Amino acid sequence: MKEDFLHYVWKFQKFDKRDLKTTSGELVQVLNPGRHNFSSGPDFFNAQLTIANQIWAGNVEIHLKSSHWYTHRHEEDHNYDSVILHVVWEHDAEVFRKHNIAIPVLELKKGVDKTTLENYRKLFSKDQQWINCQNEIASIDSFVLHNWLERLFIERLQQKSDSLLIELSTLKNHWEALLFQLLCKNFGLNINGSAFLSVAKSIDFSIVQKCSHNTLQLEALLFGQAGLLDRDLEDRYCIKLQKTYAFLKYKHKLVNEMVISPKFFRLRPPNFPTIRLSQLASLYSSRPNLFSEIISVKTRDALYQIFEISASSYWDTHFNFGSAVTNRKKKLTKKFIDLLLINTVIPLRFCYANFVGMDASEAVLHLARSIPKEENTIVAKFNTLGAVATHALESQALLQLKNNYCDAKRCLECALGNELLNR
């Protein structure tokens, strides 16, 4: 058994409260179990109890055994001076506060409902499974499941928003620059996301703005900073890129020693860094007010129109420098645009709304529900287990569930785990 199970039992009062007594025989009534504390200090703040017909207000500490009070050296920490009740699974030692006054102890070993205890043991006895509840998740009520997924999606957005705000502060609240970094990262996808982000961070956004009137200049800037022009190139377009980058590098004192080299290995040609960086250059050269457009447009179709761009004409017959292929426009596919909406547009809009004091939750939820689900191994596995994702809100929520709850065994903080424990 783990201590977090006792936190769950106390928080939701999953024990027999009839004739509740401390280990010394004093009657206990729980008026308010207190606020669960996830930081340092006692486990529950501001609880209200009656002990021996006297009302107490203070904190509650929880351990598997009473002696763990001394194991954790709480007697030396003044934060625990206000503990009014010590809740334990097994009472094996008396605990005293200052002036040799015993802290009342409530032992739960015999009071926890046997069904709850059995459900807990069942949930946490499957260490070899992909997730603890994989055999039961299909039986969870659909209302509970979808309500929890909606909450997880907002939680995921809030975490992303917090990270974006930290980066925004380093950019002196320049939202256009933040968008550029976010787009660079997501144009690189999983393989080249870090490399493309390092390119973005190596360029002051004012330089991007100055070059945005000319697609070739912007391509030269991005290709050059990514190190893709550091080789012998023979055709006229490539030579022109090299000359343009040499001029920009000298004019703006550019350096790229800290830039991560993009990868081509194991990528499908449409995802080659050459194609994606050219598409990014085309986007910025065709949309001078990109941030304001992304924030202001109302519909998914309007967002699709923003990203209806192609790599420059050289790439119609190339995937890499020099090697010609069949003539074909290298447009952003709808599937790729969907990923940009999921990983760039929605988090940015949510973050910006919070920053200016607006509530954009409903609009963001509506947009996420209108986008098809992502295709990845985690979503596919959940779909085989019965937690079926049909749109992006649910697929993003399932990623949050797996990475932040299932993998960390946080079943007791999960609505699905709670549902199974309460059966």
- String of DSSP letters for 183-242: HHHHHTHHHHHHHHHHHHHTS-HHHHHHHTT-HHHHHHHHHHHTTTTSS---SHHHHHHH
For residue 14, is it within any domain? Answer: yes
Q: Please give the angle made by the CA atoms of 373, 268 and 347, to the nearest 5 degrees.
A: 35
The residue to which tokens 């893709």 are assigned: 228
For residue 265, is it within any domain? Answer: no
How many independent structural domains does the chain possess?
Answer: 1
The model's pLDDT over 30-39, given as tens digits with 9 standing for 90+, comes to 999 999 998 8
For residue 347, is it within any domain? Answer: no
Separation of CA 271 from chain center: 24
For residue 376, the SS3 value is: coil
Residue 237 is predicted with a pLDDT of 94
Positions in the chain whose pLDDT score sits under 70: 126-128
Which structural domain, as residue segments, surrounds residue 67?
3-112
For residue 58, is it within any domain? Answer: yes
Inter-CA distances, 256 with 195, 198, 218, 249, 308, Å: 11, 9, 16, 10, 30
Residue 175 is predicted with a pLDDT of 98
Distance CA 266, CA 272 (A): 10
Tokens of residue 104, six digits: 């009342």
Amino acid found at 164: L
Distance CA 384, CA 366 (A): 26
Length reported for the chain: 423
Inter-CA distances, 302 with 202, 290, 329, 341, 393, Å: 31, 13, 22, 12, 19
Distance CA 85, CA 147 (A): 35
Distance CA 33, CA 46 (A): 8
For residue 293, is it within any domain? Answer: no
The dihedral formed by the CA atoms of 410, 362, 388 and 420, expressed in degrees to the nearest 10: 40
Rounded to the nearest 5°, which phi and psi values hold at 77?
A: -110, 120
The model's pLDDT over 98-107, given as tens digits with 9 standing for 90+, comes to 778 899 999 9
Distance CA 15, CA 25 (A): 17
CB 365 within 8 A of CB 150: yes
DSSP annotation of 106 reads E
Amino acid found at 176: E
For residue 376, is it within any domain? Answer: no
Residue 64 is predicted with a pLDDT of 95
In sequence order, what are the residues at sequence separation of 6 or more whose Cβ sits closer than 8 angstroms to the Cβ of residue 353?
A: 359, 360, 364
Residue 126 is predicted with a pLDDT of 62
For residue 47, is it within any domain? Answer: yes
For residue 60, the SS3 value is: strand
For residue 50, is it within any domain? Answer: yes
Residue 128 is predicted with a pLDDT of 62
